[in-house]
Amino acid sequence: MPPSPRLLGRDDEIRCLDGLISAAREGRGGALVLRGEAGIGKSALLGHVREAASRFGVLEASGSEFESEFPFAALHQLCVPLLSHLPELAEGRRAALEVAFGLATGSPDVLRIGLATLDLLAAAATEKPLLCLVDDAHWIDEASAKVFAFLGRRLPADPVVMVFAARPEAGRMLEALPGLVVEGLSDAEARALLAADAVDDKVRERLLAEARGNPLALLELPKAGGFALPEVSSVPGTIEASFQSRVADLPADARLLLIVAGADPTGEPRLMWAAAQELGVDVTTAGAVAEASGLVSLSTRVRFCHPLARSAVYLAADAAERRAVHLALAAVTDAQADPDRRVWHLAQASTGPDDGVAAELERSASRARSRGGVAAAAAFLERAATLSLDPRLRAERTLAAGQAKFDAGAVDVATELLSTVEVELLDSSQLARADLLRGRVAFIRNTENDGPEFVLNAARRMSGVAARECVLDALEMGLVVGRASGVMDVVVREARSMPPAPDVLNALVVLSTDGHRAAVPLLRQVFADDGLMWTRHPALATMLAGELWDTEVHANVTEWLTKTGREAGSPFVLRLGLAQTAIVAVHAGDFGTAMSAIAEEEAVADAVGVPPLPYPRLHLAAMRGSRADLLKQIEHATQAAARRAGLLVANAHWASAVLHNGLGDYPEALAAARRAVEPGDLYLAGVALPELVEAAVRCGEEKSALTVLEDLTERTSAAGTEWGLGVAASARAQVSGDEDDHRQAVEHLAATTAKPYLARAHLLYGEWLRRAGRRVDAREQLRTAHELLSCMGMQAFAARAAQELQATGEVARSRSAQVADDLTAQEQHIARLVATGATSKEVAARLFLSPRTVDAHLRNIYRKMGINSRRQLKDRFSQ
């Protein structure tokens, strides 16, 4: 069947869309974002795919410029036909959607809402494939956009197709989905489309030149009447002007009815008719005339012929008409069922300051925030500030709006609002909040390094516990964004001017001024007495656990973070916990668990649309001795140096030192270890010292190695843990050449979970014995080292041990292939979960996938491992 005239020149786009529909018929879903300027034909393509999807269930939603601040508004539109299936969902997921749609109270969790929606769509798709169409996606609310992005990345195993139509400036959340740019028609195609309209030849040429291949412009402009084109600067402007000229010719009642329809984003006919009657419109006659104009369809839902027609109608009205329309809409909107839309209409109807409406807007902001609608809260507060007559209330609401804008990711708008706050009207507490916000903006923008200074300014305006917490916030911010270097000194300097208190800040001051021997008891007391510190400062807690050389404390903090992140639905805390789980596993030599945790952290990061945390990948690649993988990771980290991501870069230097020590490239290891130690970062400066000692000794820099050893000994003896004492004994053995030190290192480390360090202690001991000419004794140590290193997958160090064994006259046994060597990180994680008895549904919930997607991964896992059942998978992983 040839394409309709409206789809001239769209063969490639149609081929792509038809491919999605064909794949869905075979059980494979997908998503596509059509991008292009207004009128370019995106809506027509949505119409095509709707017609092509015969025997599909079709769900539709449309973004609205007037509704872009209401949380989950577009998602609610899309899911309305499926709400009868809500009772079929698991209780937690049903509750998540009920909160999102305002059917219940509670705090929304985008991840759970996304997974619940995925379940809802998957359940509906068991009956027939689903097609989800979202027009004007550039205007959908941010909360819905996050869920749509989540869904779009998780459809390959479900017969669900999502197609979005958006202008080029669509929000960043949809950028991760596959996209297709819809271009203008060619000259020949444009002429063919215009041929049906009888226009003067000269006007035709001007139309072609002005329209620049925009199909709606070519179809709409001849309807404007006459032969003169409006002088506008853009094609969308030209099209809007054409719509406005058609509106201007309508009777007053019909025109007013269209303005009401344009001002109400819900498309609810009942509201439109009631508001029109409130305005005295003869709705019967006006409705017939409005529909006859072709601009709008009035049935079970109010639909404009094109989004530009809606905006053209609304903008063509004068200010007085718009205010009257909003006032009428406010009058007919149920104050109990929909208070937020009612007050929004009242705000649009206001002609000047109105403290009553401003107070209502503030209450709406509170409701919006409770539902996760930070963008809506920001919009309500910003409008409330504008309508506030009381200058102090205006300043407070502007500050609150700035914070809400920041929370919604609108950093530039937050900065602009901050600049308009009349600081002389703020009290000390408000000034502190303003400084805190400035500090967070500085960190997010990453252009200035004065973020901690703003936060410390906030602390100076506070007193007691609040001030001390604020100082710790400055340090925490440095850790979170990877820029701790240098922040510690500023924090300690500020803390020393405060009255001392038995808390973590006091312990950090002692650590900085008096060293580890004095500080370690205080830090241990903090962990014993103040478990809440993990809640308030989770990143700092993980660093301090490492500073104590205490694997048990580190594991406890990590377990708490992961559990709390899951229960509270906090993506940040969960990702931090999973990253630390991976790091703990790496330093325990359990690389399979590390890969699983990394895969899960990546799944959570992908679900919320942020990059995964790089630290665990650096640690894993370094310990495995995977040169190519680590160099790629280091390249990413080094690029961050331009953004002063000091802690991340220091981690990359530590990883490079470990790798090159394993490879036997000691000069490179020495340079990298020095760079890792130099900033003096919490935890990392200590854990990099053993690498520096080993590289310095092998490079003949005994004096330097001795100095480093003293620092390492001071840290580890103060900690008094088996891990720290073992690492220090191994380093001391390299400097002193004393066999007792080697034996102590092995004994201490054998009592820990730090298997990589134990294996390396055996390796160093064996190398020392071989150099001493004691080949038989050396073989025993080197065999143990090689077996441990090979089993863990520490390739570089295992190869080094094999070379040493060969030098003693013995050939090392080659490592047998491991059960999951050919699996990706995500496949390995799924395989491990299934091997423990987890169902596809349970794995899906853990990784924010659909059960069908999990089953698809399982089929790949079975193929790669040469098995065909869950029982065999369990058996293979138990070997």
CB-CB contact of 844 with 833 (8 Å): no
Flag whether 399 is in a domain: yes
Predicted pLDDT at 707: 94
| 522's tokens | 């205080």
Distance, in Å, from the CA atom of 432 to the CA atom of 461, rounded to the nearest integer, reads: 6
CB-CB contact of 625 with 794 (8 Å): yes
Mean pLDDT of 142-151: 86
Residue 867 CB burial class (10 angstroms; 0-12, 13-18, ≥19):
middle
| 115's tokens | 């997974």
pLDDT classification of 236: cutoffs 50, 70, 90: low
Flag whether 394 is in a domain: yes
Predicted pLDDT at 784: 95
Mean pLDDT of 207-213: 69
Predicted pLDDT at 532: 59
Flag whether 234 is in a domain: yes
Residue 611 CB burial class (10 angstroms; 0-12, 13-18, ≥19):
exposed
CB-CB contact of 32 with 160 (8 Å): no
| 52 shares its domain with 151 | yes
Mean pLDDT of 224-230: 40
Beta strand spans in 232-318 (E): 296-298, 302-304
| 790's tokens | 């090979």
Evaluate if residue 566 carries a pLDDT over 50: yes
pLDDT classification of 736: cutoffs 50, 70, 90: very high
Residue 628 CB burial class (10 angstroms; 0-12, 13-18, ≥19):
exposed
pLDDT tens digit string along 768-827? 999 999 999 999 999 999 999 999 999 999 999 999 999 998 887 766 555 556 777 788
| 11 shares its domain with 155 | yes
* Helix extents (H) in 682-772: 684-687, 689-698, 702-719, 722-736, 739-750, 755-771
Evaluate if residue 163 carries a pLDDT over 50: yes
Distance, in Å, from the CA atom of 540 to the CA atom of 679, rounded to the nearest integer, reads: 17
Contacts of 221 (CB under 8 A, 6+ apart): 207, 210, 211, 229, 238, 239, 242
Q: Which residue has the higher pLDDT, 705 or 168?
A: 705
Contacts of 427 (CB under 8 A, 6+ apart): none
Flag whether 779 is in a domain: yes
Mean pLDDT of 518-544: 78
pLDDT tens digit string along 263-319? 887 778 898 999 999 999 998 898 999 888 888 888 877 888 776 777 788 888 888
| Listed range (450-459, 714-723, 787-796) with the worst mean pLDDT | 450-459
pLDDT classification of 195: cutoffs 50, 70, 90: low
Mean pLDDT of 554-561: 86
Flag whether 564 is in a domain: yes
Place of tokens 């690492």: 727
pLDDT tens digit string along 830-860? 888 888 888 888 888 777 777 888 888 888 8
Given 3-state DSSP classes, what are the helix, strand and coil percentages for the chain, each rounded to the nearest 5? 70, 5, 25
Q: Which residue has the higher pLDDT, 495 or 339?
A: 339
Q: Would you call 213 helix, strand, or coil by DSSP? A: coil
Predicted pLDDT at 764: 96
| 157 shares its domain with 86 | yes
Mean pLDDT of 174-180: 84
Distance, in Å, from the CA atom of 742 to the CA atom of 870, rounded to the nearest integer, reads: 45
Distance, in Å, from the CA atom of 110 to the CA atom of 373, rounded to the nearest integer, reads: 11
CB-CB contact of 417 with 398 (8 Å): yes
Distance, in Å, from the CA atom of 22 to the CA atom of 291, rounded to the nearest integer, reads: 36
Predicted pLDDT at 759: 96
β-pair partners for 132? 59, 162
Q: Taking all residues of the chain, what is their mean pLDDT, rounded to a whole number?
A: 82
Flag whether 582 is in a domain: yes
| 110 shares its domain with 39 | yes
Is the CA virtual torsion 344, 349, 351, 354 positive or negative? negative
Evaluate if residue 341 carries a pLDDT over 90: no
Predicted pLDDT at 749: 96
Helices H, strands E: what count in the chain?
A: 47, 7
Distance, in Å, from the CA atom of 494 to the CA atom of 297, rounded to the nearest integer, reads: 66
Mean pLDDT of 674-684: 83
> Under the phi-then-psi rule, with left for phi > 0, alpha for psi from -120 to 50, and beta for the rest, what region is 703?
alpha
Alpha-carbon distance values, 682 to 200, 212, 839 (Å): 77, 60, 41
| 196's tokens | 């049906």
Mean pLDDT of 854-875: 85
Nearest to 528 by CA among 504, 563, 564: 504
| 16 shares its domain with 46 | yes
pLDDT classification of 233: cutoffs 50, 70, 90: very low
Predicted pLDDT at 2: 40
CB-CB neighbours of 244 under 10 Å: 19
Predicted pLDDT at 224: 47
**Domain interval for residue 141:** 5-181
pLDDT classification of 226: cutoffs 50, 70, 90: very low
CB-CB neighbours of 730 under 10 Å: 27
Domain C-terminal end among 304, 333, 362: 333
Residue 639: enclosing H or E segment and its boundaries? Answer: helix 627-639
| 420's tokens | 């308009």
Place of tokens 């014995």: 769
| 35 shares its domain with 110 | yes
Helix pair 269-278, 283-292: axis angle to 10 deg: 120
Predicted pLDDT at 18: 92
Q: Would you call 160 helix, strand, or coil by DSSP? A: strand
Evaluate if residue 11 carries a pLDDT over 90: no
Predicted pLDDT at 225: 43
Give per-residue burial for 417-450: e unless 16+ CB within 10 Å, then b.
Answer: bbeebeeebbeeebbbbbbbbbbbbbbeeeeebe
Predicted pLDDT at 204: 64
Domain C-terminal end among 396, 420, 444: 420
| 35 phi/psi in degrees, rounded to 5 | -120, 140
Alpha-carbon distance values, 792 to 600, 785, 869 (Å): 21, 11, 27
User: Residue 768 maps to which CATH number?
Assistant: 1.25.40
| 732 shares its domain with 839 | no
| 322 shares its domain with 272 | yes
Distance, in Å, from the CA atom of 568 to the CA atom of 106, rounded to the nearest integer, reads: 12
pTM metric for this prediction: 0.72
| 265 shares its domain with 197 | no
Distance, in Å, from the CA atom of 101 to the CA atom of 560, rounded to the nearest integer, reads: 31
Please tell me the total count of domains within the chain. Answer: 7
| 86 shares its domain with 154 | yes
Contacts of 572 (CB under 8 A, 6+ apart): 565
| 564's tokens | 């709390």
Flag whether 463 is in a domain: no
Residue 32: enclosing H or E segment and its boundaries? Answer: strand 30-35
Distance, in Å, from the CA atom of 402 to the CA atom of 439, rounded to the nearest integer, reads: 13
What percent of the chain is predicted at pLDDT more than 90?
28
Evaluate if residue 43 carries a pLDDT over 90: no
| 154 shares its domain with 228 | no
Distance, in Å, from the CA atom of 493 to the CA atom of 512, rounded to the nearest integer, reads: 10
Distance, in Å, from the CA atom of 64 to the CA atom of 77, rounded to the nearest integer, reads: 11
In the sheet with 130-135, reading across from the earlier edge strand, the strands are 57-62, 130-135, 160-166, 30-35, 179-181
Q: Which residue has the higher pLDDT, 57 or 490?
A: 57
Mean pLDDT of 192-215: 65
β-pair partners for 99? none
CB-CB contact of 295 with 305 (8 Å): yes
Predicted pLDDT at 222: 61
Distance, in Å, from the CA atom of 640 to the CA atom of 446, rounded to the nearest integer, reads: 11
| 62 shares its domain with 22 | yes
Domain C-terminal end among 197, 217, 248: 248
| 465's tokens | 């516990």
Distance, in Å, from the CA atom of 248 to the CA atom of 263, rounded to the nearest integer, reads: 17
| 180's tokens | 């297709």
CB-CB contact of 283 with 277 (8 Å): yes
| 225 phi/psi in degrees, rounded to 5 | 85, 150
| 654's tokens | 């530590």
Alpha-carbon distance values, 143 to 76, 113, 174, 246 (Å): 11, 10, 12, 36
Flag whether 366 is in a domain: yes
